Amino acid sequence: MSGSDLVRSPEWFAGSGQKSGQHRPGTGLVVEKSRAKPKRPPMYKVLLLNDDYTPMEFVVEVLMHIFGMNQSLAEKIMLEVHTKGIGLCGVYPREIAETKVNLIMRLAQRENHPLKCTMERE
Ligand code: TYC
Protein backbone atom coordinates (compact mmCIF):
# COMPACT_ATOMS: atom_id res chain seq x y z
CA MET A 1 0.00 0.00 0.00
CA SER A 2 1.46 3.33 -0.98
CA GLY A 3 1.11 6.52 0.99
CA SER A 4 -1.57 7.86 -1.33
CA ASP A 5 -3.59 4.58 -1.04
CA LEU A 6 -3.62 5.10 2.71
CA VAL A 7 -4.93 8.64 2.36
CA ARG A 8 -7.75 7.46 0.08
CA SER A 9 -8.63 4.51 2.30
CA PRO A 10 -12.08 4.79 3.84
CA GLU A 11 -10.56 3.64 7.15
CA TRP A 12 -9.36 7.17 7.60
CA PHE A 13 -12.92 8.36 8.02
CA ALA A 14 -14.84 7.98 11.24
CA GLY A 15 -18.06 6.06 10.87
CA SER A 16 -17.05 4.38 7.63
CA GLY A 17 -18.70 1.08 8.43
CA GLN A 18 -16.64 0.22 11.51
CA LYS A 19 -18.40 -2.18 13.85
CA SER A 20 -18.49 -1.54 17.57
CA GLY A 21 -15.49 -2.93 19.42
CA GLN A 22 -13.47 -3.42 16.24
CA HIS A 23 -9.77 -2.99 16.72
CA ARG A 24 -7.99 -0.95 14.12
CA PRO A 25 -4.51 -2.45 14.00
CA GLY A 26 -1.62 -0.04 14.18
CA THR A 27 -3.83 2.88 15.15
CA GLY A 28 -4.08 2.10 18.86
CA LEU A 29 -7.80 2.81 18.48
CA VAL A 30 -10.88 0.73 19.19
CA VAL A 31 -14.18 1.97 17.75
CA GLU A 32 -16.78 1.90 20.50
CA LYS A 33 -20.45 2.66 20.21
CA SER A 34 -22.21 3.90 23.31
CA ARG A 35 -24.94 1.53 24.45
CA ALA A 36 -26.83 4.29 26.26
CA LYS A 37 -29.45 6.03 24.12
CA PRO A 38 -28.76 9.76 24.08
CA LYS A 39 -31.58 11.27 26.14
CA ARG A 40 -33.16 14.62 25.47
CA PRO A 41 -32.82 16.93 28.48
CA PRO A 42 -35.96 17.60 30.55
CA MET A 43 -37.65 20.76 29.28
CA TYR A 44 -39.14 23.63 31.28
CA LYS A 45 -41.93 26.05 30.46
CA VAL A 46 -41.18 29.69 31.19
CA LEU A 47 -44.43 31.35 32.32
CA LEU A 48 -45.24 35.01 32.77
CA LEU A 49 -47.79 36.11 35.40
CA ASN A 50 -50.14 39.05 35.25
CA ASP A 51 -50.21 41.89 37.76
CA ASP A 52 -52.02 45.22 37.87
CA TYR A 53 -49.02 47.55 37.77
CA THR A 54 -46.32 46.49 35.30
CA PRO A 55 -46.73 48.64 32.16
CA MET A 56 -47.77 46.74 29.04
CA GLU A 57 -44.89 48.32 27.08
CA PHE A 58 -42.37 46.94 29.58
CA VAL A 59 -43.76 43.40 29.23
CA VAL A 60 -43.63 43.67 25.43
CA GLU A 61 -40.00 44.87 25.58
CA VAL A 62 -39.07 41.98 27.87
CA LEU A 63 -40.70 39.42 25.57
CA MET A 64 -38.89 40.83 22.54
CA HIS A 65 -35.48 41.00 24.21
CA ILE A 66 -35.43 37.85 26.31
CA PHE A 67 -37.38 35.54 24.01
CA GLY A 68 -36.51 37.03 20.62
CA MET A 69 -40.16 37.62 19.76
CA ASN A 70 -41.17 40.18 17.17
CA GLN A 71 -43.40 43.08 18.24
CA SER A 72 -46.70 41.54 17.16
CA LEU A 73 -46.07 38.17 18.85
CA ALA A 74 -44.85 39.94 22.01
CA GLU A 75 -48.04 42.04 22.08
CA LYS A 76 -50.18 38.95 21.57
CA ILE A 77 -48.50 37.03 24.44
CA MET A 78 -48.62 40.10 26.71
CA LEU A 79 -52.39 40.51 26.10
CA GLU A 80 -52.91 36.80 26.73
CA VAL A 81 -51.18 37.12 30.11
CA HIS A 82 -53.14 40.32 30.81
CA THR A 83 -56.51 38.64 30.15
CA LYS A 84 -55.89 35.07 31.32
CA GLY A 85 -53.51 35.74 34.21
CA ILE A 86 -50.67 33.57 32.91
CA GLY A 87 -48.98 32.86 29.58
CA LEU A 88 -46.31 30.65 28.04
CA CYS A 89 -43.20 32.44 26.79
CA GLY A 90 -41.17 29.42 25.67
CA VAL A 91 -39.84 25.96 26.54
CA TYR A 92 -36.14 25.37 27.27
CA PRO A 93 -33.66 23.08 29.02
CA ARG A 94 -33.47 23.85 32.77
CA GLU A 95 -30.44 26.15 32.83
CA ILE A 96 -31.64 28.27 29.91
CA ALA A 97 -35.12 28.60 31.48
CA GLU A 98 -33.53 29.58 34.82
CA THR A 99 -31.37 32.20 33.16
CA LYS A 100 -34.38 33.77 31.42
CA VAL A 101 -36.48 33.79 34.61
CA ASN A 102 -33.62 35.41 36.57
CA LEU A 103 -33.03 38.03 33.88
CA ILE A 104 -36.70 39.00 33.76
CA MET A 105 -36.94 39.26 37.54
CA ARG A 106 -33.82 41.45 37.66
CA LEU A 107 -35.04 43.73 34.88
CA ALA A 108 -38.42 44.13 36.61
CA GLN A 109 -36.85 44.80 40.02
CA ARG A 110 -34.53 47.38 38.52
CA GLU A 111 -37.59 49.31 37.28
CA ASN A 112 -39.61 48.63 40.46
CA HIS A 113 -42.25 46.62 38.59
CA PRO A 114 -43.93 43.68 40.36
CA LEU A 115 -43.72 41.48 37.25
CA LYS A 116 -43.33 37.80 38.11
CA CYS A 117 -42.06 34.95 36.00
CA THR A 118 -41.78 31.26 36.87
CA MET A 119 -40.76 27.96 35.31
CA GLU A 120 -42.40 24.58 35.41
CA ARG A 121 -41.21 21.16 34.28
CA GLU A 122 -42.99 20.16 31.08
N1 TYC B 1 -51.91 43.94 33.60
C2 TYC B 1 -50.86 44.89 33.28
C3 TYC B 1 -51.47 46.24 33.02
O4 TYC B 1 -52.67 46.36 32.84
C5 TYC B 1 -50.07 44.46 32.04
C6 TYC B 1 -49.32 43.19 32.24
C7 TYC B 1 -49.33 42.21 31.25
C8 TYC B 1 -48.57 42.96 33.39
C9 TYC B 1 -48.62 41.03 31.39
C10 TYC B 1 -47.88 41.79 33.57
O11 TYC B 1 -47.19 39.68 32.72
C12 TYC B 1 -47.89 40.84 32.56
N13 TYC B 1 -50.65 47.28 32.98
For residue range 67-82, what is the model confidence (pLDDT) as tens digits? Answer: 999 999 999 999 999 9
Give percent of the chain with pLDDT exceeding 90: 68
CA dist 79 and 98 (Å) reads 23
For the chain, the domains span 1-38, 43-121
How large is the average pLDDT for residues 39-65?
97
CB of 47 sitting under 6 A from ligand 1: no
Could you say which architecture CATH assigns to the domain 43-121?
2-Layer Sandwich (3.30)
- 10 C-alpha to center of ligand 1: Å? 61
Supply the pTM of this predicted model. 0.73
17-31 b/e (C-beta count within 10 Å ≥ 16 → b): ebeeeeeeeeeeeeb
> Would you say the CB of residue 69 lies under 6 angstroms from ligand 1?
no
Instruction: State which of 66, 81, 100, 113 you would mutate to test the pocket of ligand 1, scoring each by most atoms of that ligand within 8 A of its C-beta.
Output: 81
Higher-scoring residue by pLDDT: 12, 96 = 96
Q: How far apart are CA 57 and CA 114, in angstroms?
A: 14
